[in-house]
Chain A
Amino acid sequence: MELLYIPLILALASTMLGKMLSNKWIWSGISLIAGFTLVLNLHCSHNFILSESIVDIPWLGDNIRFNLKVDGLTWLLLLLTNGLIPFIIASQSEDKVSKITPLIFLMQVGLNGVFMAFDGLLFYIFWELAMIPIYFITLIHSERERFKTTIRFFIYTFVGSLAMLASLIYLYGKTDYSSFSYDNLFAVNLNYAESIWVGSGFLLAFLIKIPVFPFHLWQPNTYVWAPSQGSMLLSGIMLKMGLYGLIRWYLLLVPESIDFYQPIVICLAVIGIVYGALIAIRQDDMKRIIAYSSLSHVGLITAGILTLSIDGLNGAGLQMLVHGVNVVGLFWGIGLIERTYKSRDLNDLGGIASKSKWFTIGFFLFVIGSVAAPLSNGFPGEFMLLKSLFNYNTTMVVFAGLTVILCAVYMLRLFQFSMLGEGKNESNKDMCISVNLELILFLILSITVILIGVFPQNLIDIINPSMDQILKELLNVKGVLS
């Protein structure tokens, strides 16, 4: 519960004190302390079995309850959300702090809510709540092109959300007690035709949010045009809402439709892996490269989830966290470059390595994390996901495995043309990224790349029971996965 109202209080406080306290370090510090204590506290006080609720009170009448629960999967995503948000706050440039910070806090409320909600309507409300701040964040620089992009993004995701709402309401109508509670929705049995329609509603919402090819059309431009913080929030945390929803709200609520959708979604995801990677190879805008690489990476996560194997689910859980860290780090690095060199075009950059040694090391760590070299954080997740896909379908894994090669191509290209060589722009080639508190935080985040990469099992231990439970429920109650 604290995870909801403390960010809310912070959002209010930063709105009211915005002009007076426009120092990002204060907000970042508060958020860091608050977030970590709350999340760690949650870790100590719960054993991650999905039985007891943290909060369970009647809300809109008796049937719509304010019901929050935490299991390992949720906890990991809470760690991701509340752990990354202080870094995202710290990554702002000084001039927009009073505008963006409250929105980020508000978003934190929505995100925490989405991951903990165990009531259909509550889930939907938080889902939409998280949308509103990001809409304003992406609009913060009011240019025409941005506006169009944002509107497109909004319409896209909103269509998905409405479809999901329709599915939720349909399920609600089928429950015995007319209840939105997760357990009641879970107990509903649908016939095949119904399940296809209901499933499509959920899938549409989640696949657009993730996004999976071909529902990604909103994504690249939005990432590119949004301020760095917006891109970080969107790709680092928000798209995990979709992946989380896929596991918790699609697989378990409409398992009757899995047989039908499983091959389709996996196919789309694998197409997206190759598609995103191929496009990323040819881009010059650093943010666009990351956007397409993100499309490629989440494609693999989605495919892994849909294999319905313990490795796929564990790998997906781990990779959600890892992808968040890496993408935030990369967008942060790009933001720093853009602030210093006023460009993020690979044709203008170069030679940063010779001036900013520490920055280069940090950025390189995120790059190899993204490439999934062993002992970096990307490897264990990718290893598990590809393994699960291998067991699902061997042909599929050959295509998905191309990411191993192509990702190295575009990420190293990105690294070489931005960091190595000689500066190409005469006017600012002698500038460097100064060593300050922000850079130190950047480096701290980059160290987690190695930490997670060397000891992934500690994280797996947290999510494994939840994933095991989810698989068992799928197996026992619904009899899929025969």
Chain B
Amino acid sequence: MSNLLIILGFPLFGFIFNGLVGKYLPKSVVGSIASLMVAIPFFVAFGMIGDLSNDAQYSVNWKAYTFLTLDNIPLSVSFTIDRLSVWMTLIITGVGALIHLYSTGYMKNDEGFYKFFSYLNFFIFNMLLLVLGSNFLMMFFGWEGVGLCSYLLIGFWYKNVEFGKAARKAFVMNRIGDLGLLLGLYLIFSKFHTLEYSEFSNQIAAGNHSDNLLNAISILLFIGAMGKSAQIPLYTWLPDAMAGPTPVSALIHAATMVTAGIYLIIRNQILFALSPFATEFILWIGLATAMLAALIGLKQTDIKKVLAYSTVSQLGFMFVALGVGAYSTALFHLTTHAFFKALLFLGAGSVIHGMHHEQDMRFMGGLKKKMPLTYWTFLAGTLAISGFPFFSGFFSKDEILAATYSHGLIPYILLLLSALLTGIYMFRMFFVTFHGTYRNEKWDYSKVHESPLVMTIPLMILAVFSVFGGLINLPKYITESGSLVEWLKPMLPIMEHHEIGHSEEIILLGLAVLVFLTALIYTRIVFLKRNRVPTDSETGFFSVMRDKFYVDEAYNLVIVRPLEILGDLLHLIGEGIFLKIFSFGIYPLLQVVSRLNKRIQNGNIEFYLLYMIIAVIVLLGVNLIFF
């Protein structure tokens, strides 16, 4: 429990402390406090690995208080430490601490320095809430909390209206997913009368529930994951979210927050494993996203946009893994992706920093000489993501491919194609940015500089992990023991079967290497030998790819505009016309009535006498008739 308090309490403290008094402290103090508040939980979590490894069933549960009673069933604020939540905690705090450190350099000249770190700490707190919570309610808290932080951080430079718009878009699109998630929670609660993971899983394992129910719950939860983890059709916010400062993109929109959807599904493995229809759906959504985003990424020229689409695509890979039932493999890829994508984003940030906020690769080139550290670390990241043999991404992606192959040939081919595209867009960006000749006239080449050590040290650490990260889960053909998959087995009650023959495995491996080499050689010829630079003048299908398949425009046309028009119409009809009818109808009516009244009460005694007589006659008449 004390461990939990430290892990959750420190980032929260950092948020409040920096938010309140950070303004009056020197930047170095603010930055170090914020970084420490994330680093300490990392070491605490690391210290728990021993206990967890000794005992497969080891877990710590802590119920803080009852948040709400629903149907007289208490829903509590409670947390749990087990292998899965600690693994996520390690990624969040580990990568998070490095990014905090990096940010102290990157944001050095920003006036909102303290605010930035305050938000960043708050994000870490919410993310930890998400993964450490022991029930769906806590997860939902963290889920919305990280969404809020994401909103605040995307719109961090709040004077820019476009950035604000991107922030709102992210929040609203996430909320669409959240509605699905919320309905999923209601469905779970109304059928299982609990929101605790453990009880929920036990009930599913014990009882025979209808397939339809399980599929419905799975799909609703997955809709939530679509929003947060940027899958078709809710992915368009993520590229726009690049409006935020680059460390934010690295932390939130690459390494941690966007993987929350993956975590959600792994956490409820037993549910998804028993919902074949839903998992098939996830598989195809993941495949389509992996493919589409990679295609769009091919033609982008903003280096952060390329990385954003790459993230969307890689998340698609993870969902494919989930879709074919390779849950631990998805977590493996999540881990390696956190390393190399954080590295790539931070590297891109270093380039942007050295180029004075230039993000377009068309105006870069030849940066290799000026930024050697960034160059070599970026190379490590690029090799890792595109699957250079024995780098981290190679192992994780290869496992996904193998698992997909055992599921079906067509998904495998499509995924392999996406892997090829991954290699192409990554090397294209790499060569155009760092090789060739310098092409920026606004910012003199002599002024381009390497980033300070506080930024390059995180790069180097992440580069080491990107290269050797695969060691945590070496495939069976190398070693039999000590892998992440084995470690996670107690968390994943349903066994995974992906047995494929030895010779097939070798062929798959060969194909993966072949794909990597194809991408490397092709881009090398086009962008290095021929020195081609991407231009705006794409034609035909390429221009459609560059314009992101007009998805944003389509959403605008089909959803946003009609809703706006509907709002206007309702206002016009409901509020304008009906109000007018009411006003012009009731007022004259009242006036007519009162005018009649006025005429009757004219002050003449004779008239009053007449009314009296009439009244008496009427009363008598009524009496005569009815009684």
Identify the A interface with B (CB < 8 A).
148, 152, 155, 214, 217, 220-221, 275, 278-283, 310-311, 314, 351, 353-354, 368, 373-375, 379-380, 383-384, 386-387, 390-391, 397-398, 401-402, 404-405, 408-409, 412-413, 416, 419-422, 455-457, 460, 464
The 5 closest A-B pairs by CB, nearest first: A282-B567, A390-B186, A420-B158, A374-B141, A278-B567
| Contact mask for chain B residues 155-172; partner A; CB cutoff 8 A; 1 contact, 0 none | 100111100110110011
Collect the chain A residues with CB atoms within 8 Å of residue B172's CB.
405, 408-409, 412
Please report the C-alpha to C-alpha distance between residue A250 and residue B168 in the assembled complex, in whole angstroms.
Answer: 41
Q: A373-B144, A374-B144, A412-B172 are in contact. Are A421 and B578 (CB under 8 A)?
A: no
Contacts of A368 in B (CB 8 A): 148
Residue of A nearest to B571 (CB): A279
Query: Would you give the shortest CB distance from A329 to chain B, in whole angstroms?
Result: 18
Chain B residues near A384 (CB, 8 Å)?
Answer: 68, 70
- Interface stretch of the complex, out of B175-183, B299-307, B456-464, B491-499: B175-183
Chain B 260-290: CB-based contact to A (< 8 A → 1; otherwise 0): 0000000000000000000000000000000
Are A375 and B575 in touch, CB under 8 angstroms?
A: no
| Interface residue from A221, A380, A397 paired with B68 (Cβ < 8 Å) | A380
Q: A412, B168: Cβ atoms under 8 Å?
A: yes
Contact flag A275-B144 (CB < 8 Å), given A152-B582, A217-B578, A457-B69? no
Min distance, Cβ B99 to any Cβ of chain A, angstroms: 24
In the bound complex, how far is the Cα of B147 from the Cα of A421, in angstroms? 21
Report the minimal beta-carbon distance from B75 to chain A, rounded to whole angstroms.
9
Query: B148 near A401 (CB under 8 angstroms)?
Result: no
A368 to B144, CA, bound (A): 11
- Shortest B24–chain A CB gap in Å is 13
CB of B583 within 8 A of chain A?
Answer: yes
B570 neighbours in A (Cβ, 8 Å)? 275, 278-279
Known: A311-B70, A351-B159, A390-B183. A416 touches B164 (CB 8 A): yes
List of A residues within 8 angstroms of B67 by Cβ? 380, 456-457
Interface residues of B (CB under 8 A from A): 65-72, 140-141, 144-145, 147-148, 151, 155, 158-161, 164-165, 167-168, 171-172, 175-176, 178-179, 182-183, 186-187, 189-190, 563-564, 566-568, 570-571, 574-575, 578-579, 582-583, 586
CB-CB < 8 A to B186: which residues of A?
386-387, 390-391, 397
Question: When the two chains form the complex, which single residue of A152, A404, A420, A460 contacts B179, counting CB atoms closer than 8 Å?
Answer: A404
B130 → chain A, closest Cβ, in Å?
11
Task: State A457–B73 Cα separation when bound (angstroms).
Answer: 12
Q: How far is the CA of A197 from the CA of B20 in the complex (A)?
A: 58
CA distance A351 to B571 in the complex (A): 28
A169 to B160, CA, bound (A): 62
* Residue numbers in B under 8 Å from A221 (CB-CB): 579
Contact present for B567 and A279 (CB under 8 Å): yes
Given known A282-B564, A397-B183, A398-B183, contact A383–B159 (CB-CB < 8 A): no
Rounded to whole angstroms, the CA-CA distance of A217 and B160 in the bound complex is 38
Residues in A whose Cβ lies below 8 Å from that of B66 = 457
On whether the beta carbons of A456 and B175 are closer than 8 Å, the reply is no
The verdict on A373 contacting B164 (CB below 8 Å), with A152-B583, A275-B570, A310-B71 known, is no
CA distance A168 to B487 in the complex (A): 70
Task: Decide yes or no: A374 and B575 within 8 Å by CB, A386-B186, A404-B178 being known contacts.
Answer: no
Contacts of B586 in A (CB 8 A): 155
Task: Using known A-B contacts A217-B575, A278-B563, A373-B144, determine if residue A421 contacts B69 with beta carbons closer than 8 Å.
Answer: no
**Chain B residues, Cβ within 8 Å of A422:** 159
Measured between beta carbons, the chain A residues less than 8 angstroms from B190 are 387, 390-391
Residues of chain B contacted by A408 (CB below 8 angstroms) = 171-172, 175
A408 to B187, CA, bound (A): 23
In the assembled complex, 21 residue pairs joining A and B whose CB atoms fall closer than 8 Å, in A order, are A214-B578, A217-B575, A217-B578, A221-B579, A310-B71, A311-B70, A373-B148, A374-B144, A386-B186, A387-B189, A390-B183, A390-B186, A397-B186, A398-B183, A408-B171, A412-B151, A412-B172, A420-B159, A420-B164, A455-B65, A457-B66
In Å, the complex CA distance between A80 and B151 comes to: 31
Q: Contact at B582–A217, with CB atoms within 8 Å?
A: yes
- Chain B residues with CB under 8 Å of A314's CB are 69
A460–B571 CB distance below 8 A: no
Min CB gap B536→A, angstroms: 29
Complexed CA–CA distance, A217 and B187 (Å): 36
Shortest beta-carbon distance from B112 to chain A in Å = 10
Closest B residue to A422 by beta carbon equals: B159
Q: What residues on B are CB-neighbors of A278 within 8 Å?
A: 563, 566-567, 570
